[in-house]
Amino acid sequence: MTAAPGGTAADAPRTLADACRRLGDDPNLVPVAGGTDLMVSDRLERSAVAGVLDLTRIPELTGVREVAGGLEIGAATPFAVLRSHPAVCRRFPALAAAAAVVGGWQIQSRATLGGNLVNASPAGDSLPVLLALEAVVVAAGPAGEREIPCAAFHVGYRKTALVPGELVARIRLPDPSPGSRQLFRKVGTREAQAISKVVVAAVGRVGGEGREGGVVESLRLAAGSVAATPVRLRAAEAAAVGKPWSPETARTRLAEEVGRAARGEVTPIDDVRSTAVYRAATLERVVRRLILDLGSPE
Amino acid sequence: MNVRFVVNGEEREAEGAPLERLLDVLREQLALTGTKEGCGEGECGACTVLLDGEPALSCLVPLAQCAGRDVRTVEGVAALPAGRRIVERLVAAGGVQCGACTPGIVVTAFALFERDPAPTRQALADALAGNLCRCTGYEGIFRALTDDAEQPTVSPARPGAPAVGEAE
Amino acid sequence: MTGIGTSPPRPDGFAKASGAAVYADDLVRPGMWFGATVRSPHAHARLDGVRFAAERAPEGAVCLTAADLPGPNGILLIDDEWPILAAGTVRHVGEPVALVAAPSRLGALQAAAAVEAEYTPLPAVLTLEEAAAQATAQPTTQTTAHATPPATARPLLAECSLACGDVEAALAAATAVVEGTWSTGHQEHIYIECNAATAWVEDDGTVVVHGSMQCPYYVHKALVHALGAAPERVRVQASVVGGGFGGKEDFPSVIGVHAALLARAAGRPVRLAYDRHEDIVGTTKRHPAVVRHRTAVAADGTLLALDIDVTFDGGAYRTLSPVVLSRAVLHAFGPYRCPNVRIHGRVLATHTAPNSAFRGFGAPQTQFAMERQMDAVARRLGLDPLEVRRRNVVRPGDRLPTGQVLGESTAAEACLERAAARTGFQERWRALEREREGRADDSADGAPRRGIGLSLYFHGAGFTGSGERRMQSPVGARLLADGRVEVLTATTDMGQGCVAVFPQIAAAAGSLADDDVTFAPPDTARVPDSGPTVASRTTMIVGGTIARAVAGLSRRVVDWWQGEHGAGWQLADGTLRHPGGDAVPFRQAAREFLAAGGEGALEVRHRPPDWQEFDDATHQGSAYPVYAWGCDVVEVEVDPDTWAVRPTAVTAVCEVGRALHPTLCAGQIEGGTLQAVGWALTEEVKLDGGRYLNDRLATYIIPTARDAPRVSVELLEQPYEGGPFGAKGIGELPMDGGAPAVCQAVENATGIAVTAIPATPERLFAWAEGDRRREEVA
């Protein structure tokens, strides 16, 4: 791709700084990475776009890098890379699991983690994972870089905390505490190539002897498609942390309570994919299942 | 904008708005109509091409990103021995009916076979999950490209009656 | 080997798979423009005016409204009440109100955006329930598109009845009367290639339409009517067809007329190709249905009376609804014996896109209901699904409610027993019933709920009733100068594979070699009207006529040859051989025959069996000369957390007369079965105020390769003497069986009585909640 025979490949920015400068100079430029959301528009709409900012040729924006205490993922890294990246699979299996169910193979080869964030759909498959991992979004703009906690990134339905001229540069994933477990569950409209009706991620740890009984020492739960933005399920977390976990208590009380708490803190809607009541009930059952799985042997 | 890129091994040039779809460029400017449009929004896979060797949906690839890229369409894939084998297997096993999804399936299967020459049924289903087929129920495609598929049988309706058809 | 019963590669396969085949949207004509359609945003409105702001459109762009039409404003099918372009009133969202053409696709969209239509919204009837309420409140009114239509909907689009015996007496005397109401939803065809056509006008004024279609002569008829043209000045060519399933039976007449009108107005070729959104919004779908059953049964499960009320949602215009309803009623009683039957069917109008042909043509809806009703009967009497069917299944010699006495090729029982034996159905069903009953209600184990279901079904081959007798559709065969036989039919290959099966039939019937036979493309300027490519008639009816035509032509050559060279010659595999050892290729004999002035052209018409008589008014007689039979066994897993149903395996045992090309024959069963499974589980057209909420493949959910169960097909053969080499029509058969078997399996797994499809997780959840609440109250 470096041996570009065409003149215009050389026109694409090669550094993040250059990309930011160009966006500053021409705020009408449309940034495009995988294009899998942007391009779903009709010919009239597309013909009206005069200039784009190609984000696929900027080395800083792609790839997975080791940083102190975690990994950083370039915003333009496609899901196909995340799905099979050894460090991601080992340290962030929930993200790898989400990456493996974002559309089919063709979508995964193009769609990017940063794109999923910026498109800001409440159904974005990777977003509950980023919330549960307490990921940090590093944005770059005219004023330099700033860090935005993932929980503060989606400020409303399809709205992000980015200001004009800002791009998502990378996503920092802090390593979860040792011994914690990551779980991911997508309930889609079919087995594959589906948009989520409910999507849930959990990062947590049951201390002590998991099989015989222990305590939920930590839990971070997040869900998508159940509110205007992806949400952390803090009431459900609170209902779990500090509680004894055993296969028996989990089945009889704990999981029920956590599931119910989760259901109580979301505001799903009826839409073309599902109904509010189904989403609420399914969230409750999926959360219950994740709590049961949390302390069970892997 | 004017863009130069490589299509099926040849340098080609295309002209259009930055968000012109690669699909339209291939079909309308380069007369490569083997790449089909089934949905125009990345759901059906009929427009699958290889973009720098990776399967991609040409309806979602803007011209602005094509400069210098290597694009291989179904015409280019079918011209390669490995692509031709996929085509022949699909035709022989009943993996082709109306054919509108087939070019996309050939391209995706070609990419899979480059990585995994003997995929399981599950691996093929995973790889083809983004290629919708409405005719075959996929069984003929599994039959063509894996050794784990159902083989139809033919037998007389009345036990003991002479068979009139020959089983496969 | 390519003879009958073998599976040679389909001859169009390589071109299709390698991208070389030319589909409707691939054909480029010099100077071609592109068309676009301006559509109503309202379900029901008065159309007050349409204005074309040419200054906002590309230079030279043309715009047509109903006022510009050269002839009657109707697409001629059974009648012509479906307007070409809305005039005065729009009756569904997406109804065409204007057409535009411009030099580019983008220009066409810009021109469409420059059309301003003014509407006064009117009250709309959007659901079958609303239509049924209105139908009882109002007398039938009928209008044509030519008159100014009234603002009210026309409730009744079609009606028909069928009766035998004394239903009331049987209901009164029965041990048990089981009632059930079964509903099915819209279904979109989702052929992967959307509707498209290109039209141009030749120098001599001939209008040519090249497009994706099942029925070139339907398009021809509609063009002659709409353009007021002489039949010989209209030519229709079918392109390679990227899937049809009935969706390209009547709709290509609409898009073909539209393209032709634009080509005339623009004075140059115009291509009109729909995108997926437009194809879903603007084209026909499967009729949603509500079927009510009252069934009288004896204690042993014997059916005593069936009282069936069928209501279909026809959408805004009649299209083919009367014949769809007819087939629906003629399959509503299932492959069962019953002495007392009363069926009443109606198609009601709503302000939604017209519903019309879809694989199965009404029969899947009524057989879904019948099969679910049989399950309800079994539950009431404590029988299992296999047993209740065994006690009632039709056998040769049995009489259907139409009075038809079934012939030798009646194999429902063979399908049932074979499918049950292959899958161990009875034991498995009982074991899973026990597993469910023994299970605590709570889903803590997370294990999928497993279920198995079975359905028995049949499908009449060929046009309903007197249709084939009326058409007696012709097939042509002629000798080419090189001595090959050219066969001429108007049949199109939409994927089903007649391109492979017809040559097999022709070569075998004519005792010719494969390459002695060639087929003319389906072009109305070249081929006779051998009828539409519909109704599971292609192999059996057209194929049978091909066999007679080619056999007749080759016999003519052989007879002449023997006249010249003495008796004793035998034709086999394209070579004439004499016991004395001489051998002459058929082609050489044919060339000499032509050189000697022999008549090398032959037209043969389809002849329905003499005994097949049917009264279209009373629906009594033999509606079809023969039926194909099938039994499906489906296994499912239901996720206890999400209610998602995953079909894991399907066994389909289908009796097909004779499998001429087993791979393609099984391909019809495999593909049709998955289409039925999709209809049962995920496919749903969601409307809000008549507006489509899911006019995209992201939201109209068909199965992917990951969703598809293994489909294991066994083809049974009980040759039918009226079909070529014993073959019957089977293209629609598999659409009838999948859905009820899936639903019975879900019931087996969960205990939920599935009364409506699609059985989405949302519906199953709602039903389960309803059951739970009822139990709490009790």
> What value does the mean pLDDT take over residues A170-187?
96
Positive or negative, the CA dihedral C11, C17, C21, C23 is: positive
User: C598 in contact with B at a CB cutoff of 8 Å?
Assistant: no
Tell me the chain A residues in contact with residue B48 when contact means C-beta distances shorter than 8 Å: 106
- Give the integer Cα–Cα distance in Å for C287 and B27: 35
Per the structure block, which two tokens stand in for A85? 């990246």
Binary contact (A39, B6; C-beta < 8 A): no
pTM of the predicted model over 0.95: yes
With a pLDDT cut of 90, the percent of chain C lying above it is 94
Distance CA B53, CA C204 (A): 50
SS3 content of chain C, % helix, strand, coil (to 5): 35, 25, 40
Chain B hits for A62, Cβ within 8 Å: none
Identify which of B13, B61, B125 has the shortest CB distance to residue A35: B61
The conformational region for residue C638 under phi > 0 = left, psi -120 to 50 = alpha, else beta, is beta
CB C430 within 8 A of CB C508: no
Token representation of residue C674:
């998955």
Q: How confident is the model at residue C136 (pLDDT cuts 50, 70, 90)?
A: confident
For tokens 């003014």, the residue is C118
Best of A26, A29, A38, A39 to substitute, by most chain B Cβ atoms within 10 angstroms, is: A39
Q: Is the dihedral of CA C683, C687, C692, C694 positive or negative?
A: negative
A2 pLDDT tier (thresholds 50, 70, 90): very low
Chain C partners within 8 Å of B153 (Cβ): 713-715
- Per-residue pLDDT of C701-757, as tens digits, reads 999 999 999 999 999 999 999 999 999 999 999 999 999 999 999 999 999 999 999
Q: Which residues contact A225 (CB under 8 A, 6 or more apart)?
A: A122, A123, A196, A197, A198, A199, A268, A273, A274, A279
Helix (H, G, I), strand (E, B) or coil at C436: helix
pLDDT > 70: percent of chain C = 97
Counting one residue from chain A and one from chain C, the pairs whose CB atoms sit within 8 A come to 71
For the range C769-778, what are the long-range contacts, defined as Cβ-Cβ under 8 Å and sequence gap of 24 or more?
C769/A281
A9 with B59: Cβ contact below 8 A: no
Kindly report the nearest CA distance between residue C526 and chain A, in angstroms. Answer: 38
Residue type, C430: R
Q: Give the pLDDT confidence score for residue C143 in this predicted structure.
A: 41
pLDDT tens per residue, range C547-578: 999 999 999 999 999 999 999 999 999 999 99
Measure in Å the smallest separation between the Cα of C537 and chain A Cα atoms.
34
* Alpha carbons C232 and C210: distance in angstroms, whole number: 16
Choose among C647, C246, C657, C312: nearest CA to C459.
C657
Strand partners, C629: C458, C655
Average pLDDT (A26-39) is: 95
Mapped onto helix, strand or coil, the DSSP state of residue C337 is: coil
Q: Which tokens go with C241?
A: 């067809």
CA-derived radius of gyration, chain C: 27
User: Residue B168: is its pLDDT beyond 80?
Assistant: no
d(CA C409, CA A160): 67
Is the Cβ pair A289, C446 closer than 8 Å? yes
C380 contact partners, CB below 8 Å, separation of at least 6? C176, C178, C297
Q: What is the percent of chain A where pLDDT is above 90?
A: 88
Contacts of C683 in chain B (CB under 8 A): none
Whole-number pLDDT of residue B161: 59
- State both tokens at A198: 């409910």
Q: Across-strand partners of A220?
A: A203
The two three-digit tokens of residue C561, written as one number: 């040859």
Closest CA to C744 of C251, C228, C372, C312: C372
Residue A178 makes CB contacts below 8 A (sequence gap 6+) with none
A205-257 confidence digits (pLDDT tens): 998 765 567 899 999 999 999 999 999 999 999 999 999 998 877 777 899 99
Q: Are strands A52-54 and A30-32 parallel, antiparallel or unpaired?
A: parallel
CA distances from C109 to A48, C515, C691 (A): 13, 47, 21
Residue C434, pLDDT > 50, answer yes
- Residues A193, B129: C-beta atoms closer than 8 Å: yes
Separation between Cα atoms, residue B98 and residue C76, nearest integer Å: 27
C-beta separation of A279 from A226 below 8 A:
yes
Residues of A whose CB is below 8 A from B45? 104, 106
What are the φ and ψ backbone dihedral angles of C103, each rounded to 5 degrees? Answer: -65, -20
Q: Are A162 and A196 in contact (CB under 8 A)?
A: no
